[in-house]
Structure 1
Amino acid sequence: MKTIITFGTYDVFHVGHLNLLQRAAALGDRLFVGVSTDELNFSKKQRYPIYNQNDRMKIINGLRYVNLCFEEESLDLKRHYIDLYKADVLVMGDDWKGKFDEFSDICEVVYLDRTPSVSTTQLIEVISSSDQ
C-alpha cells in the first residue's frame, strides 16, 4: 500500500487546494494531510488564518480522497510526520520546488503544478477590498 503525505494551511478552501489534493491522492492508495495549526500559521505569516484549524481540518476530513488529516504543529517536524505515517511520497505544490528535497532519503518527493490564477492570499485581498 502506497501512502502519500502532504501539508498545507487550506485556508479559504478553493479549487486549487482541491486539484492538488485530488492529484496527490491519485499517486497512491492513501492520502494523509497535515493541516497547519493556527499557531504555526501565525509564526510563518504574522497573521492567523481566516478559518480556525478545527474548521480547516473538518473541510479536509470531509473530502472523500483524504484518508487521514492531522495537525501540523511545526515545519521542523516534517521528517517526523513522514516517518510516523510511513509515507512513501511527499507531495507539495511547485511553489515549494526544491525546498523539501532533503526528505528524498526517506521518501519520494513530488512537486505538483499549482492551479493557475488561484491563490488564497489573492482571494483574501479581493474579499478584504470589497468590504471597503
Structure 2
Amino acid sequence: MRVITFGTFDMFHIGHLQILERARALGSHLTVGVSSDNLNWQKKQRKPICPEHDRMRILQALRCVDEVFLEQSLELKGEYIQQYNADILVMGDDWEGRFDEYKTLCDVLYLPRTPSISTTQLIEVVRSHDPR
C-alpha cells in the first residue's frame, strides 16, 4: 500500500514525526507533499519560518519518508494522489472531513494530532521569548 500525506512541516517537531511514522506504518511507501512557501501564504497569510527547500530536506532525511515533493496548490491534491499512485491519503484530524471528496481515488484517514504541540504555538513562544 502506498500512502500520501501533505503538510507545511515548519519548525519540525515531535507531532510531525509521530504523524509521519503512523502514516508510514499504514503502508510500504510514504510520499509527503510539502506545502510551498506561496501555498502556505495562501492558507495562513504568513510565510513559513523555514524555507521550502529546507523543510523538504528535513523530510527527505527521515527513515519513515520514501519520497518528497513540493505541493503547489490545494486544488491539485487529486492529481497528486493519482500521480504518486496513493492507496491511502492521511491527514491530521484537524482536517476531518475536508478531504472526503478523494475517497473515490483512495482511502482517506484522519489521524489524531499530538496533543499540546503545534507549529503556531512554537512560533509564539519563540517570538515572545525575551533573552534578557
**TM-score w.r.t. structure 1 length?**
0.97
- Describe the SS at the equivalent of 1:111: strand
Q: Which residue does 1:112 correspond to in 2?
A: 111
Percent sequence identity over matched residues? 60
Separation in 1, partners of 2:97, 2:77: 15
Q: Which residue does 1:14 correspond to in 2?
A: 13
AA in 2 matched with 1:40: L
AA in 1 matched with 2:76: L
AA in 1 matched with 2:27: G
**TM-score w.r.t. structure 2 length?**
0.97
Q: Which residue does 2:66 correspond to in 1?
A: 67
Q: Which residue does 1:130 correspond to in 2?
A: 129
- Describe the SS at the equivalent of 1:11: coil
Separation in 2, partners of 1:23, 1:43: 28
Structure 1 unaligned blocks of 5 or more? none
Output one character per residue of 1:17-37: Cα deviation in whole Å (capped at 9) or x when no partner. 000000000000000000000
Query: Structure 1 segments of 4 or more deviating over 6 A?
Result: none
- Describe the SS at the equivalent of 2:12: coil
How many residue pairs were aligned? 131
- Describe the SS at the equivalent of 2:21: helix
Alignment root-mean-square deviation, CA? 0.8
Query: C-alpha displacement at 1:44, in angstroms?
Result: 1.2
